[in-house]
Amino acid sequence: MNSTAEPVQTPESPRLHVILYEPEIAANTGSIGRTCVAVGAMLWLVRPLGFHLDDRHRRRAGLDYWEHLSWRVVDHIDEVVEVLGRDRLWSFSTKASSSYTTATYRAGDGLVFGPESRGLPPSWISSPSNRLVRIPIRPEARSLNLANAVAIGTFEAVRQLELAPA
């Protein structure tokens, strides 16, 4: 596991990055890891994590796809910004006014998601340089499950990337 600020070396550059800010539930992270493997995205986990990452805990959480996953754990989201650039990050929040489908995703972009219980911190989503989007849901539902939200956002980005001219 690479947890330094240096880029992870992989055979090919990931077409997307999924950034989980302080994820709390191992099973959600396992499902998200599977989604990342399916689309060729790199998974970033920003500490603190609500679970352990040793082999036994990963297996128990269904993270059996992790041998095929490009992933990295960092201590602060600024480490992600340093590697990818803030202008390449799309932040998903129920507080956003723009739909995730109106964003124009580019290869190498990162999709940022907050922890299950509270979402992204106000300091992150109020920053003037961020790009904030939401998944439209009915008011009766407070939010979506994190793994579902990541899958929705990731597959929209992949759809756009596959339609983009080469």
pLDDT, tens digit (0-9, with 9 covering 90-100), for 26-52: 889 988 999 999 999 999 999 999 988
What is the amino acid identity at position 78?
A: D
| pLDDT given at position 9 | 37
Superfamily of chain region 16-163:
SPOUT methyltransferase, trefoil knot domain (3.40.1280.10)
| pLDDT given at position 5 | 37
- Quote the tokens at residue 51: 């679970």
- Domain locations along the chain: 16-163
Whether residue 86 has pLDDT greater than 60? yes
Instruction: Note the pTM of the prediction, 2 decimals.
Output: 0.89
Evaluate whether 124 touches 115 at the Cβ level (below 8 Å). no
Evaluate whether 90 touches 103 at the Cβ level (below 8 Å). yes
CA 131, CA 62: separation in Å to the nearest integer? 32
| pLDDT given at position 130 | 65
What is the amino acid identity at position 121?
A: P
